[in-house]
């Protein structure tokens, strides 16, 4: 795809009306992108194309004109599409012309010409994007292992990308949020629908404080089954690498893994219990050459990333002796209050105060109301 240098404020541009109208067309994404390219990314001219334009495009790109494309387009009113698309004032539109559009996503053959989103794009870095995919029926062990890996990225510039589904997706977002990482959710329905509904808190946490949620579908689009493989291409397409954490042979996670290879991106797998049917796809991918990941450093090495973190020395310089002792004790693994008390030479009340101070500073957190960890 050719480089795009244009920039405009989509929400306040007439172009937004045409992009919104395109989102209501039930046509393959690759056809929309090729049509837009054919007209040098002039979205209005692309929308106003006629039969002759389509014939020329199909000859040039070896495409077929989608069935009922022109009749379907003629039934849509661009003003009405625009008004429906932005009924929710928090919804914004990011287009292929915008400089904030994920750069890697432009490289896939069927990139979305526009994405609706909620949240804040300002502090999202697309330099270190890691897609995390896996089973909806994830094992407890897989969730714990994934949480351990993502927690090691605490306060770094890594952005976790996933699909806001049950299981591994949900755990990836939760772990990212609690470890002060940016996270991107990509959904297969309109942004006014929280699916699954049990993930509502994750949904709200992402848009309010941790990142953005993307959808290529306009408001009121239901979560239809065929939307999710389409969603997977966006998750992997905007990511420099994909980590698969549990996957059966026939699953959405395996679709994402294959897309990762198609896009020539780095594919990594988290090994698990061989008796668990959810690891069947994992070991198949490993045999095919996927990298094995057992800790965060494996990902950093495989991706050759230079990770930006807080200056630990500056943080430690501001800590008193008791706080430093506690950090030394829990630096390797989480420990309970009693376990810390058994090895530290301060009294109970001082330890309680120290732990509270460290939690307020955001240096430690408490798991399950019992264990403390960095």
Express each pLDDT in 209-247 by its tens digit. 899 999 999 999 999 999 999 999 999 999 999 999 999
SS3 sequence of the chain: CCCCCCCCCHHHCCHHHHHHHHHCCCCCHHHHHHHHHHCCCCHHHHHCCCHHHHHHHHHHHCCCCCCCHHHHHHCCCHHHHHHHHCCCCCCEEEECCCCCCCHHHHHCCCCCCEEEEEECCCCCCCCCEEEEEECCCCCHHHHHHHHHHHHCCCCCCCEEEECCCCCHHHHHHHHHHHCCCEEEEECCCCCCCCCCHHHHHHHHHHHHHHEEEEECCCCCCCCCCCHHHHHHHHHHHCCCEEEEECCCCCCHHHHHHHHHHHCCCEEEECCCCCCCHHHHHHHHHHHCCCEECCCHHHHHHHHCCCCCCCCHHHHHHCCCHHHHHHHHHHCCCCEEHHHHHHHCCCCHHHHHHHHHHHHHCCCCEEECCCEEEC
Residue-wise pLDDT for 171-204, tens only, equals 999 999 999 999 999 999 999 999 999 999 999 9
Tell me the pLDDT of the chain averaged across its residues.
90
- Among 141-150, 333-342, 360-369, name the one with the lowest average pLDDT: 360-369
Per-domain residue ranges of the chain = 10-87, 129-303, 312-373
Mean of pLDDT values over 109-121: 96
Fold adopted by 312-373: Arc Repressor Mutant, subunit A (1.10.10)
Mean of pLDDT values over 292-306: 94
**pLDDT at position 318 over 80:** no
- Among 188-192, 281-285, 309-313, name the one with the lowest average pLDDT: 309-313
Task: State the pLDDT at residue 167.
Answer: 95
Residue-wise pLDDT for 254-267, tens only, equals 999 999 999 999 99
**pLDDT at position 119 over 90:** yes
Task: State the pLDDT at residue 144.
Answer: 95
Task: State the pLDDT at residue 199.
Answer: 95
- Among 138-147, 311-320, 343-352, name the one with the lowest average pLDDT: 311-320
- Among 162-166, 184-188, 254-258, 337-341, name the one with the lowest average pLDDT: 337-341
CATH for 129-303?
Answer: 3.40.50.450
What band does 6 get if pLDDT is binned at 50, 70 and 90?
very low
**pLDDT at position 124 over 50:** yes
**pLDDT at position 366 over 90:** no
Task: State the pLDDT at residue 351.
Answer: 85
């Amino acid at each position: 795809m050719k480089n795009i240098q244009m920039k405009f404020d989509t929400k306040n541009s007439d172009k937004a009306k045409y992009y919104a109208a395109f989102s209501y067309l039930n046509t393959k994404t690759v056809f929309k992108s090729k049509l837009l390219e054919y007209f040098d990314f002039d979205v209005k001219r692309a929308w106003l194309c006629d039969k002759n334009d389509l014939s020329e495009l199909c000859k040039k790109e070896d495409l077929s004109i989608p069935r009922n494309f022109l009749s379907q387009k003629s039934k849509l009113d661009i003003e009405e599409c625009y008004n429906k698309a932005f009924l929710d004032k928090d919804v914004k539109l990011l287009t292929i012309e915008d400089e904030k559009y994920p750069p890697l996503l432009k490289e896939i053959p069927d990139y979305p010409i526009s994405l609706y989103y909620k949240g804040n794009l300002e502090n999202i870095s697309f330099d270190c994007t890691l897609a995390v995919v896996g089973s909806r029926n994830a094992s407890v062990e897989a969730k714990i292992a994934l949480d351990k890996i993502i927690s090691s990225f605490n306060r770094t510039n890594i952005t976790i990308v996933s699909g806001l589904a049950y299981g591994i997706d949900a755990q990836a977002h939760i772990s990212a949020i609690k470890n002060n990482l940016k996270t991107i959710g990509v959904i297969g329905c309109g942004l006014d629908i929280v699916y699954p509904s049990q993930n509502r808190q994750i949904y709200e946490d992402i848009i309010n404080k941790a990142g953005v949620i993307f959808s290529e579908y306009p408001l009121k689009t239901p979560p239809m089954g065929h939307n999710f493989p389409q969603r997977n291409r966006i998750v992997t397409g905007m990511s420099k690498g994909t980590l698969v954490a549990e996957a059966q042979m026939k699953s959405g996670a395996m679709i994402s893994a294959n897309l990762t290879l198609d896009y020539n991106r780095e594919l990594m797998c988290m090994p698990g219990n061989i008796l668990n049917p959810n690891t069947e796809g994992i070991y198949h991918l490993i045999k095919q050459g996927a990298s094995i990941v057992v800790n965060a450093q494996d990902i950093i090495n495989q991706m050759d990333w230079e990770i930006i973190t807080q200056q630990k020395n500056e943080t430690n310089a501001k800590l008193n002796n008791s706080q430093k002792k506690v950090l030394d004790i829990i630096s390797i693994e989480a420990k309970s209050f009693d376990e810390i008390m058994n090895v530290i030479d301060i009294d109970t009340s001082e330890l309680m105060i120290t732990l509270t101070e460290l939690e307020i500073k955001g240096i430690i957190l408490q798991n399950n109301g019992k264990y403390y960890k960095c």
